[in-house]
A and B are shown apart, each in its own frame.
Chain A
Amino acid sequence: MASPRVETDARPALVNKRVLLVGAAVTLPLIGLLLMSLGRDPHKVDSPLIGQKAPGFLLTPVGGGAPVSLESLRGRPVVLNFWATWCVPCYEEHPVLNQAARAMAGEAHFFGVIYEDEEAKVQGFLKKQGSAYPSLLDDTGKTAIAYGVYGVPETYFVSPEGVIVEKYVGPLTPNAITALVAKAKGR
């Protein structure tokens, strides 16, 4: 007589150690990454341009006048603020930058660079809000591309020697401007 053959399943254990180990190996590094990111400042973006020579530009000021080149600004830190009239945080930032430009006159150059906007709208904005520093037109968007701009407002702090020291994303605060201009000066 042939021996009867059966197929049986062993009763599963409550915790499968192997699955637990594999799951932990996958999830623990992810949780670690999440915890590391929680401590990061969202305004600080690691731009590959930090520590590099700032890209040159030759841009015409809003309302006309002689084109401004970065090379002509050597000797003082340059605060280059990319902005637009359609950008709501830029409204919040504008008086802060005006105040800083007045307070630091003779200490640093302040320039706005218009990002994807129309000159007439910018002129209307500046007439209404006032401005203590010139804004430059970047019609082709090449200056924004050369600086790696993603959106507005974004501000670059350039040392007196023409090296990008910091990139600040979002509306600036008075303390941030003071600290970053000092950093650009090398203090």
Chain B
Amino acid sequence: MNRGLAALALALLLAAGVSAQAPSLGVANARQVVGAPKGAALTGPALEAETKRVALLLRCPVCQGLSVFESPSSMALNMREQVRELVAAGFDEDQVLRYFERSYGEFVRLEPPLRGVNWLVWGAPVAGLLLGVLVVTWSLRRPRAGAAAETNAALEDDPALQAQLLRVRELAYGWPGGTKPEEPKP
């Protein structure tokens, strides 16, 4: 009985050893795409922390703007497991992202990398904001100041219009002679 148990335990240990040594198909596929792992193999809390960090950078393809770490969908769960497997084998962040990018395209990255036309994604909001500030500043200052200056210049050149305006102000505000009286000094 004891011999039988010992043999079973040995067989299990050997099987575990063999499966631990042979790279899984996911790791083998990743090696073909991004080459040998560049980092150190991770285990325990370091593996969990790195898995979370990288999974937060990957978009769940079937969700609306959720990362693979945040989404409860089964696809995200499978992708998270694959991230864990790759990180455990020593693939670094860039390698893991490039592996998923090969299947899903750049869309799978939650943050588009700063290259090519992606500069527009990062630069356009800033450029738009600056342009908006410029337009608002320009429209607040230029037209009103210009119109008032033109009107005042026209009044100075036209004594008849000036007299009319003074009369209107006298009637409307009760200012003697149409000119605003000076405030009594305290």
Contact = CB atoms under 8 A, between A and B. Distances in A.
Interface in B145-180: 147-148, 151-152, 155-156, 162, 165-166, 169, 177-179
Contact of B82 (A2, A5, A142, A148): A142
Given A58-B25, A146-B26, A150-B62, A6 B103 contact: no
A5 B152 contact: yes
B62 A3 contact: no
Given A49-B103, A56-B28, A146-B29, A8 B78 contact: no
A140 B81 contact: yes
B25 A4 contact: no
A48 B104 contact: yes
A141 B151 contact: no
A58 B179 CA distance: 96
A57 interface: yes
Interface residues of A, number: 31
B88 to A, nearest CB: 14
A141 B151 CA distance: 76
Contacts of B42: none
A6 B152 CA distance: 7
Nearest to B135: A22
A56 B81 CA distance: 18
B26 A10 contact: no
Interface footprint category on B? 20 to 34
A55 B155 CA distance: 83
Nearest to B161: A4
Nearest to A7: B148
Given A56-B28, A146-B26, A4 B104 contact: no
A48 B61 CA distance: 14
A30 B82 CA distance: 39
Given A140-B78, A141-B75, A146-B26, A1 B179 contact: yes
Nearest to B25: A58
Contact of A141 (B78, B165, B169): B78
A169 to B, nearest CB: 13
A45 B110 CA distance: 20
A52 interface: yes
B118 interface: no
7 contacts: A3-B152, A6-B151, A8-B151, A55-B29, A140-B78, A140-B82, A145-B78
Interface of B: 25-26, 28-29, 32, 61-62, 74-75, 78-79, 81-82, 100-105, 143-144, 147-148, 151-152, 155-156, 162, 165-166, 169, 177-179
Closest 10 CB pairs of A and B: A141-B78, A148-B103, A48-B105, A7-B148, A142-B26, A148-B104, A8-B151, A5-B152, A55-B29, A4-B165
